[in-house]
A and B are shown apart, each in its own frame.
Chain A
Amino acid sequence: MNPRVLEAEALAKQQVRDAGATPGDLALSCDVVVVGSGAGGAVVAATLAEAGQRVIVLEEGGYFPQSEAGAMRPSQQLRHLWRDAGMTFAIGVGDSPVINVMMGKCVGGSSALTGGVCFRTPDHVLQTWQRERGLSDFTPGHLEPYFEAVEKRVHVETVTPDRWSSSTLAFARGTAKLGHPLKPMRRNTEGCQGYSRCNFTCPVGAKLSVDVSFLPSAFRAGAELYAHCMVDRVTHRDGRATGVVGRVLNGPRHAPGGRLEVKARRVVIAAGAYHTPLILQASGVGRASEQVGRNMTLHPGFRVMARFEERLDGWRGALQGAWSDALEHERITMTALFLPPGVLAATLPGIGRAHRLNAELIPYLGVFGGMLHDEGGGTVRRGPGREPLVTYRMDPRDKAALPTLMRWMAKAWFAAGAKEVILPVLGMAPVTADQLDTLDLEHVPGQMLESSSQHPLGTCRMAHSAEAGVLDSDGQAWDLQELFVADGSIVPTSLGVNPQLTIMALALRIAERLRERPLPE
């Protein structure tokens, strides 16, 4: 086990408290309360605690040390660490698929469940932010020191081809033949041994997610984290945030129990693009702009799988070792991935004998993913119960790019020697190279597409005015002083690449500005 993980676990033992273990109300006070312990919240907590501020972090999920979580089976991880046990969906509206949106609900948030992929915000995306959102500060040069600092802290390294999985190597052979060699991925890992289960916690602690990188710094500086605390809304007085209230999640099923109240001089919400807008809506924030919960982008992802005659054992090697921008002109980014056999089997067509025959092919399967740099079209609303109701209307331009995604990736697989390709269309049998050319992919209904997402963004976006966005360029709510947001919800547009590094860099920028700003009395 990575010594950094063991050190993080020792610190967490002292500073993490399971609020849900004790019945009754919980009342606390501090300088800064941070709601959420993922990529945004952890960075803010560490930066402000290191500056001497009294920081309390509230996390809805539980704390699972990596040494414990890394030993869980994927389904155990789903039920303990993932929101809705991995069954969070964005409901497709119109000609759109239902999209499975995966999010963490644990200390470390989704950062603990990523493949570790680290892209900086592309320059052309920053130009869009400047041009369309009026965020003139956001130049590559301005953000450079934040990216550098975060990359150093989480140990971003390049995955060399010798660590690529056999599935990735096979796809690389195909893309090279099409004239587009794969590019090595950058990831926040240290000592990766190629267990290919980053999404389900690295068994040797090689992934330096924020629970290993940033939160230990916060704990060392005195920050406290309370797990199983669900925040409902921000309290405020005279136009200024004064804390948060919610419920402690008690008992083995984490049902809402005692009242939670934290009084703070400053509030930072980092509950993610699904839940931050709910907290803001419940607090009456952003009503003027009517932008809270809107503008959600997802990077809808589509797996294209291939069957080879030789065994690939695609689960050996780095999970996400390479990527391709060969279809950037179509606003598509392709990244390596692999899935546990149960998840792979679930995506294979067939019942009974047909299913079994397909499942026997799992060791012979290669998997690669393509995701859309989408136009958006998602909305988060308060739903019945504790979870939001989320809808997503796929933009026709995004839908129109999907046949290109499927055909190009299928051709790459066939160029690599695949015998059949399995496209992300529900109920569609595997296709051969000859059959591919005859498929009418342009007219597949959106509802028949199989899609997933790990990147909900933009539901409380920053913008130059209160009419155009929910937050100013420092992440502060336009209509409530001392309320800040630092998570994926602030990202002004779709990125087209995995967002965790962008979220961490933006959070660091916000935190460093907060550090210099006097705390209110």
Chain B
Amino acid sequence: MVPRVPNALVPPSTLAALRAVAEAVFSDEQGPPPAARIDWVLVEFEDFLTLAGSRARLVLRAALFAVTVLAPLFVFSLPPLRHLSVAKRVLALERMEASFASAAVLAVKAFLCVLYYEHPDVQREVGYVGRGHDTRVTP
């Protein structure tokens, strides 16, 4: 397993914004997924962003900023997105996904999905048998 790189590049506000999107994207009738899974995604996100290079950091942060600021406007609310209820966040992101600004939602969602669906519990739920690769959580 590749060791994690100590990181000081991801401010808490970025993590909070990403958590708000993740809770909405992966929610269902019962609400957001277990907090531990989102925590896991955020840990992976920090590691990812640290190693990804400045261009990737810029793209992700710009997309996340756009989603945080623009999505609430689609439900006639004020930003940031994290101040809305999960149900309202879902509606805001759905509308933004179908709009001219879909690329920003897609970028953040794509990034979240790549990480979230690697969680062993999620893979079991989806029924994916991830043969041949390490499913351990990055320490």
Contact = CB atoms under 8 A, between A and B. Distances in A.
B51 A85 contact: yes
A3 to B, nearest CB: 18
B134 A354 contact: no
Interface string A74-91: 111011100111011100
Q: How large is the interface on A (under 10, 10 to 19, 20 to 34, 35 or more residues)?
A: 35 or more
A362 interface: yes
A162 B48 CA distance: 38
B116 to A, nearest CB: 7
Interface in B91-137: 93-94, 97-99, 102-103, 106, 109-118, 123, 126-135
Interface in B1-53: 1-2, 5-6, 24-29, 44, 47-48, 50-53
B27 A84 contact: no
B107 to A, nearest CB: 8
A57 B47 CA distance: 29
Residue among A79, A197, A200, A311 facing the most chain B CB atoms (10 A cut-off):
A79
Interface residues of B, number: 54
B90 interface: yes
A74 to B, nearest CB: 7
Contact of B44 (A75, A426, A448): A75
A252 B103 contact: no
Contact of A353 (B29, B60, B131, B134): B29
A446 interface: no
Contacts of B102: 426-427, 448
Nearest to B47: A79
B88 to A, nearest CB: 11
Contacts of A315: 128-129, 131
A200 B134 CA distance: 12
A85 B129 CA distance: 24
Contacts of B106: 346, 426, 450
Contacts of A78: 48, 52, 114
A362 B123 CA distance: 11
A350 B94 contact: yes
A303 B24 CA distance: 26
A356 B5 contact: no
A341 B118 CA distance: 8
Nearest to A196: B131
SS class, residues of chain B in contact with chain A: helix
A85 B26 contact: no
A349 interface: yes
A385 B55 CA distance: 8
B77 interface: no
Nearest to A83: B53
A74 B114 contact: yes
B113 A346 contact: yes
Interface stretch (A21-29, A65-73, A218-226): A65-73
A447 B6 CA distance: 38
A385 B54 contact: yes
Contact of A87 (B55, B86, B103, B116): B55
A349 B97 contact: yes
Nearest to B90: A352
A84 B114 contact: no
Given A68-B2, A79-B52, A427-B98, 17 more contacts: A76-B2, A80-B2, A84-B52, A85-B48, A85-B51, A87-B56, A252-B5, A313-B127, A315-B131, A345-B113, A351-B94, A352-B24, A353-B90, A362-B128, A363-B128, A385-B54, A386-B55
Interface of B: 1-2, 5-6, 24-29, 44, 47-48, 50-56, 59-60, 86, 90, 93-94, 97-99, 102-103, 106, 109-118, 123, 126-135, 138
7 contacts: A84-B56, A203-B133, A315-B128, A341-B117, A342-B115, A351-B97, A386-B55
Closest 10 CB pairs of A and B: A203-B132, A342-B117, A85-B52, A346-B110, A352-B90, A346-B113, A342-B114, A79-B51, A345-B113, A351-B93
Interface of A: 68, 70-76, 78-80, 83-85, 87-89, 98, 195, 197, 200, 202-204, 252-253, 311, 313, 315-316, 340-343, 345-347, 349-356, 359-360, 362-363, 385-387, 426-427, 447-448, 450
